[in-house]
């Protein structure tokens, strides 16, 4: 459209020139006022040239274009305005042939040896007979258009540079590389003008050089710096300068190089630098982001080079974002590294489970393998492993809609080796923007020792109460035995005398009842530690075997199989007869519990400093030592866990007709040996286990009744 408009305008001007030419020949060099007004008002230059090449007329636009007055133009040889004679000859040849010459570029010669680029078209002016009387030329100054086009090209080039720079920023991992890119690309943007970039130290409030571009190799030498010393130079930043730099605007330093270096250079050196670099202007701009100064870019614009200030400011803003992004990524990376080190060295298990779009472990800390035996890789391969490890009865504690996630849950886990551990979990739900639960982050801590310690504390407290209760019962039993024992001896003595009088049946009944009462009294004395014991060093396994030799046939007849597991044990200081009584009581109870047959396993083994049981413990004596353990395990009826705590109480029996003294007497005997006796059962129908722990060292001396 632009060219069409220009050609149309040229045609109009030529038509006017034709009219003018005709009037020129018919009215002795006077021209139409209307035509004159139109030509005079044209923005393009106009020349009317005679066939001899002399200027007949020119408008004001041509005067302005060539920089000469009208009186100097009229009558002049038209060829003098062309830098290349060939361009004029083309026009003269076309006009002489009566032909028009389309638009073409040419260089004009201006006063003062100046030149200007123009676009020219011409047409012949003919009279009524068709003879050529003049040539009309139109001159268009293209300087403004060229400047506009150059500005467009420069803007496009700047956009390309900034786009390429943005891509470069993404791949950079070191801040020094970013500063070098800022320096190099800004230099290219400013026509290879020298640039250096400083970094700001907020603690010292100074700028120090970080990168430079387009500076000669002798630059630092001229400044008087030793190699590498320039990078250590500090330029203080006042509050006023700081505030200006935060604006991100391009600031021109009127003082040039001397002002740029804050008086650190003499005027002579500053002038040398300006001359060496061909500096026209000095600009600085702060590299800042969100009210924080990061650095400064200094641009020494060379002579003859121009830059669009908004473009440079946009470039600086882009650099600010890139540096801030890099700092943020570095900070994030450092935080991630700190978290990784913390997680990988933490004793607790730290994990994150993604729930959507499909469940998967996104992270599991290495401590999981030490606690559970399963590696993090096994968790990544099996998303359900975390749930599968939880003891089935405890899985409901981890279910819910997320409201209870913040409350720690104590559950049992089954490790890879089959061991059950106690774990405290604290889960945090992660929701997306739509409020959907998409992930769970949590910490799991092994609290097995804490749970066992708490149970041990509770059991110790229970044993203390039970021990006090048993001691009171023992004192009562001893008192009753003494009080009843003496009258009972009288009854037995008199009954023996009566037996000889002939009243046999009644007397035998009295004797039987009295002897039964005597047995009960002996048992009470045994429970109350009032019976005398003689300790000898012997094999516990031998005592077990002798006891089985007395009762083995009864067990065999009852369909009970004996399984022995004897581990080597040193001799133990015991009272064989009393310990045999304990074994008899336990074996008798096992036989009654396996009325339809079963297996009785008897095991002996050493136990060194065994922990106090966290389950059902009935007694304890002194502190933990090294023990000889004798364990009786049957496959009988089992025991209600609620009743295990009362098994060793006097007169407590779970069977109809039982006296409830067998285990209480066993309790007293084991206590008198300085040992422990415990009972355990998983429940009714699941058998029972009785464990006797006898100290491997000699027990304290006992006192008789």
Q: Which residue has the higher pLDDT, 173 or 501?
A: 173
Q: Give the whole-angstrom CA distance, residue 187 versus residue 83.
A: 36
Count of CB atoms within 10 A of residue 559's CB?
Answer: 11
Q: Find the CATH number of the domain harbouring 112.
A: 3.30.450.20
Together in a domain, 557 and 659:
yes
Report the pLDDT value the prediction gives residue 628, as an integer from 0 to 100.
Answer: 93
By the 10 Å C-beta count (0-12 exposed, 13-18 middle, 19+ buried), 418 is classed as: exposed
Together in a domain, 291 and 359:
no
Count of CB atoms within 10 A of residue 493's CB?
Answer: 11
For the segment 41-53, the average pLDDT, to the nearest whole number, is 90
E strand or H helix that includes residue 413: strand 409-414
Domain region containing 489 = 452-526
Cα–Cα distances in Å, from 591 out to 87, 232, 655?
Answer: 134, 94, 13
Q: Give the whole-angstrom CA distance, residue 455 versus residue 440.
A: 31
Look at residue 251 and give its three-state secondary structure. Answer: strand
Together in a domain, 166 and 119:
no
Closest CA to 535 of 694, 411, 401, 346: 694
Q: Give the whole-angstrom CA distance, residue 645 versus residue 640.
A: 10
Q: Find the CATH number of the domain harbouring 496.
A: 1.10.287
Give the torsion sign (CA, 577, 582, 587, 589): positive
Q: Which residue has the higher pLDDT, 625 or 347?
A: 347
pTM over the 0.75 mark: no
In the listed set 300, 331, 362, which residue is the last one of a domain according to the structure?
331
For the segment 672-681, the average pLDDT, to the nearest whole number, is 90
Report the pLDDT value the prediction gives residue 695, as an integer from 0 to 100.
Answer: 92
700 found inside a domain: no
Report the pLDDT value the prediction gives residue 632, as an integer from 0 to 100.
Answer: 97
Q: Find the CATH number of the domain harbouring 254.
A: 3.30.450.40
Together in a domain, 512 and 547:
no
Q: What is the mean pLDDT of the chain?
A: 82
496 found inside a domain: yes
pLDDT higher than 90, residue 635: yes
In the listed set 466, 496, 526, which residue is the last one of a domain according to the structure?
526
Token pair 């970080």 is found at 210
* Interval 455-488: pLDDT, tens: 888 877 776 766 666 666 666 666 666 667 666 7
Q: Give the whole-angstrom CA distance, residue 119 versus residue 123.
A: 14
Query: Cα–Cα–Cα angle for 654, 659, 661, nearest 5°?
Result: 95
Token pair 């603690």 is found at 203
657 found inside a domain: yes
Model confidence band, residue 414 (pLDDT cutoffs 50, 70, 90)? very high
Asked whether the beta carbons of 633 and 591 are under 8 A apart, the reply is no
In the listed set 417, 441, 465, which residue is the last one of a domain according to the structure?
441
Count of CB atoms within 10 A of residue 158's CB?
Answer: 20
Q: Give the whole-angstrom CA distance, residue 250 versus residue 159.
A: 18
pLDDT higher than 60, residue 31: no
Report the pLDDT value the prediction gives residue 613, as an integer from 0 to 100.
Answer: 47
Report the pLDDT value the prediction gives residue 466, as an integer from 0 to 100.
Answer: 63
* Interval 279-296: pLDDT, tens: 889 999 999 988 899 999
467 found inside a domain: yes
Find how far residue 661's CA is from the centre of its chain.
65
Together in a domain, 114 and 153:
no
pLDDT higher than 90, residue 375: yes
492 found inside a domain: yes
117 found inside a domain: yes
Report the pLDDT value the prediction gives residue 28, as an integer from 0 to 100.
Answer: 37
pLDDT higher than 60, residue 402: no
Look at residue 216 and give its three-state secondary structure. Answer: coil
Instruction: At 228, give phi and psi (nearest 5°).
Output: 85, -10
Instruction: At 206, give phi and psi (nearest 5°).
Output: -135, 160
For the segment 661-670, the average pLDDT, to the nearest whole number, is 83
249 found inside a domain: yes
705 found inside a domain: no
pLDDT higher than 90, residue 24: no
Together in a domain, 233 and 89:
no
Sequence-separated (6 or more) residues with CB below 8 Å from residue 591: 551, 554, 555, 558, 560, 600
Report the pLDDT value the prediction gives residue 636, as an integer from 0 to 100.
Answer: 93
* Interval 137-195: pLDDT, tens: 999 888 888 888 888 888 888 888 888 888 888 888 888 899 999 999 999 988 899 99
Together in a domain, 153 and 134:
no
Asked whether the beta carbons of 511 and 499 are under 8 A apart, the reply is yes
By the 10 Å C-beta count (0-12 exposed, 13-18 middle, 19+ buried), 622 is classed as: exposed
DSSP state of 636: S
Model confidence band, residue 348 (pLDDT cutoffs 50, 70, 90)? very high
Q: Give the whole-angstrom CA distance, residue 246 versus residue 149.
A: 33
Q: Find the CATH number of the domain harbouring 637.
A: 3.30.565.10
Together in a domain, 193 and 111:
no
Together in a domain, 227 and 253:
yes
Counted domains in the chain: 5
Report the pLDDT value the prediction gives residue 586, as an integer from 0 to 100.
Answer: 92
Give the torsion sign (CA, 385, 390, 396, 402): negative
Asked whether the beta carbons of 650 and 516 are under 8 A apart, the reply is no
Together in a domain, 187 and 306:
yes
Look at residue 174 and give its three-state secondary structure. Answer: coil
Give the percent of the chain with pLDDT over 70: 81
Together in a domain, 479 and 381:
no
Together in a domain, 505 and 579:
no
* Interval 248-266: pLDDT, tens: 889 999 888 888 887 777 7
């Amino acid at each position: 459209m632009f060219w069409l408009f220009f050609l149309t305008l040229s045609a109009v001007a030529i038509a006017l020139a034709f009219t003018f030419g005709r009037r020129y020949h018919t009215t002795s060099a006077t021209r139409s006022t209307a035509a004159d007004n139109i030509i005079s008002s044209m923005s393009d230059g106009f020349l009317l040239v005679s066939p001899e090449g002399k200027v007949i007329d020119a408008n004001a636009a041509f005067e302005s274009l060539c920089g000469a007055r009208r009186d100097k133009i009229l009558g002049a040889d038209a060829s003098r305005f062309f830098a290349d004679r060939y361009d004029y000859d083309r026009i003269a040849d076309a006009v002489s042939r009566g032909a028009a010459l389309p638009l073409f570029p040419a260089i004009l010669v201006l006063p003062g040896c100046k030149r200007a680029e123009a676009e020219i078209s011409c047409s012949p002016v003919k009279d009524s007979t068709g003879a050529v009387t003049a040539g009309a030329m139109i001159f268009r100054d293209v300087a403004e258009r060229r400047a506009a086009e150059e500005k467009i090209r420069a803007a496009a080039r700047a956009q390309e540079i900034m786009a390429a720079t943005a891509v470069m920023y993404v791949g950079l991992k070191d801040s020094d590389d970013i500063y070098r890119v800022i320096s190099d690309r800004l230099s290219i943007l400013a026509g290879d003008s020298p640039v250096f970039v400083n970094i700001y130290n907020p603690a010292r409030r100074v700028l120090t050089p970080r990168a430079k571009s387009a500076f000669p190799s002798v630059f630092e030498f001229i400044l008087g710096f030793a190699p590498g010393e320039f990078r250590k130079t500090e330029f203080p930043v006042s509050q006023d300068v700081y505030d200006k730099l935060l604006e991100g605007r391009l600031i021109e330093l009127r003082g040039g190089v001397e002002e740029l270096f804050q008086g650190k250079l003499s005027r002579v050196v500053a002038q040398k630098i300006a001359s060496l670099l061909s500096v026209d202007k000095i600009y600085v701009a702060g590299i800042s982001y969100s009210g924080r100064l990061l650095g400064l870019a200094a641009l020494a614009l060379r002579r003859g080079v121009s830059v669009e200030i908004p473009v440079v400011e946009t470039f600086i803003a882009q650099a600010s974002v890139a540096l801030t992004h890099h700092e943020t990524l570095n900070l994030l990376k450092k935080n991630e590294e700190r978290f990784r080190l913390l997680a990988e060295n933490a004793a607790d298990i730290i994990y994150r489970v993604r729930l959507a779009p499909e469940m998967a472990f996104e992270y599991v800390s290495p401590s999981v393998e030490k606690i559970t035996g399963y590696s993090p890789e096994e968790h990544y391969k099996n998303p359900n492993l975390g749930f599968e490890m939880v003891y089935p009865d405890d899985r409901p504690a981890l279910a819910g809609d997320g409201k209870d996630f913040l409350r720690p849950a104590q559950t049992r886990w089954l490790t890879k080796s089959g061991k059950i551990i106690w774990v405290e979990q604290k889960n945090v739900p992660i929701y997306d923007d739509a409020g959907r639960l998409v992930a769970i982050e949590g910490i799991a801590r092994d609290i097995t020792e804490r749970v066992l310690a708490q149970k041990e504390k509770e059991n110790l407290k229970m044993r203390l109460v039970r021990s006090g209760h048993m001691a009171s019962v023992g004192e009562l039993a001893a008192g009753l035995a003494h009080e009843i024992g003496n009258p009972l001896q009288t009854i037995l003595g008199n009954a023996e005398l009566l037996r000889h009088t002939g009243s046999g049946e009644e007397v035998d009944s009295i004797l039987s009842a009295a002897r039964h009462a005597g047995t009960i009294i002996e048992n009470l004395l045994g429970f109350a530690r009032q019976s005398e014991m003689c300790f000898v060093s012997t094999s516990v396994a031998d005592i077990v075997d002798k006891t089985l030799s007395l009762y083995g046939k009864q067990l065999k007849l009852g369909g009970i199989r004996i399984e022995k597991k004897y581990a080597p044990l040193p001799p133990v200081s015991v009272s064989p007869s009393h310990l045999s009584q304990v074994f008899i009581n336990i074996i008798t109870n096992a036989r009654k519990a396996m009325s339809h047959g079963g297996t009785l396993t008897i095991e002996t083994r050493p136990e060194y400093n065994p922990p106090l049981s966290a389950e059902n413990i009935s007694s304890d004596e002194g502190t933990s030592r090294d023990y000889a353990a004798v364990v009786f395990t049957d496959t009988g009826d089992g025991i209600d866990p609620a009743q295990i705590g009362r098994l060793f109480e006097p007169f407590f029996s779970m069977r109809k007709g039982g006296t409830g003294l067998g285990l209480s007497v066993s309790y007293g005997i084991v206590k008198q040996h300085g040992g422990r006796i415990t009972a355990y059962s998983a429940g009714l129908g699941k058998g029972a286990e009785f464990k006797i722990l006898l100290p491997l060292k000699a027990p304290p001396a006992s006192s008789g009744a």
